[in-house]
Amino acid sequence: MTVSGDYTGRKRALCAIGHVVTATRSIQPCTAMLQEFIIECSMNASSTHLIPDRAQTLAVLQLLRQRRPMLMLTGDDDGYGSRWLLDGQQVQPVIAKYLMNAGFIADTGVTELGARKLALTESGTRLLENGLLWWKSLGFLQRLRIMILG
């Protein structure tokens, strides 16, 4: 693979390498520059895949990894629409819909009361692992900015 001299070309080539590395579910030890590009490719929002409220999405993924199911309450009959709950707290609909549409969580069945149970998929686990690496790479002010602005 030839890497062009410009920053964008190198970034694109390293991102392609990074996707091969992360497809194995474990990031192999690599140079700091390559790891930075892998993290950047995994968590930065692109024009087609915007991650809503990245800090809160990461928190939801962490709770799901602990084998806590997200419950989806369909509510078209009561006029409120669907609601998603995790540990008794409501999950923002935009986050829940994003995770469902992207295939990061999947339906695992129905509870006795009719709520749908959603659990983390393998691709959701990869997103969480990459997200945690990305979060650790940020400084205090960057984290604060993301927590406040999304």
CATH of the domain at 97: 1.10.10
Do 9 and 63 lie in one domain? The reply is: no
Do 68 and 34 lie in one domain? The reply is: no
Residue 32: per-residue pLDDT: 56
Residue 82: per-residue pLDDT: 82
Please state the rounded mean pLDDT for residues 45-72. 80
Residue 113: per-residue pLDDT: 85
The more confidently predicted of residues 143 and 12 is 143
* Distances, alpha carbon 90 to alpha carbons 18, 37, 94, in Å: 34, 34, 12
Do 118 and 145 lie in one domain? The reply is: yes
Do 56 and 37 lie in one domain? The reply is: no
Domain count for the chain, please give it. Answer: 2
Do 8 and 34 lie in one domain? The reply is: yes
* Distances, alpha carbon 57 to alpha carbons 2, 21, 78, 125, in Å: 36, 23, 27, 13
Do 58 and 105 lie in one domain? The reply is: yes
Q: Could you give the CA distance from residue 31 to residue 38 in angstroms, rounded to a whole number? A: 11
Residue 42: per-residue pLDDT: 52
Do 29 and 60 lie in one domain? The reply is: no
Question: pLDDT averaged over the chain?
Answer: 74
Do 83 and 106 lie in one domain? The reply is: yes
Do 90 and 126 lie in one domain? The reply is: yes
Residue 51: per-residue pLDDT: 84
* Distances, alpha carbon 129 to alpha carbons 90, 103, 109, 133, 135, in Å: 23, 16, 25, 6, 10
pLDDT at 148 over 70: yes
Do 14 and 64 lie in one domain? The reply is: no
Do 106 and 32 lie in one domain? The reply is: no
pLDDT at 88 over 80: yes
Residue 127: per-residue pLDDT: 92
Question: What are 125-137's pLDDT values in tens digits?
Answer: 999 999 999 999 9
**Domain span at residue 36?**
1-44
Binned at pLDDT 50, 70 and 90, residue 47 comes out as very low
Please state the rounded mean pLDDT for residues 69-91. 81
Residue 41: per-residue pLDDT: 55
Do 32 and 74 lie in one domain? The reply is: no
The more confidently predicted of residues 78 and 16 is 78
Q: Which of 24-33, 44-53, 79-88, 118-127 has the highest mean pLDDT?
A: 118-127
Dihedral-angle region of residue 103 (phi above 0 means left; psi in -120 to 50 means alpha; beta otherwise): left
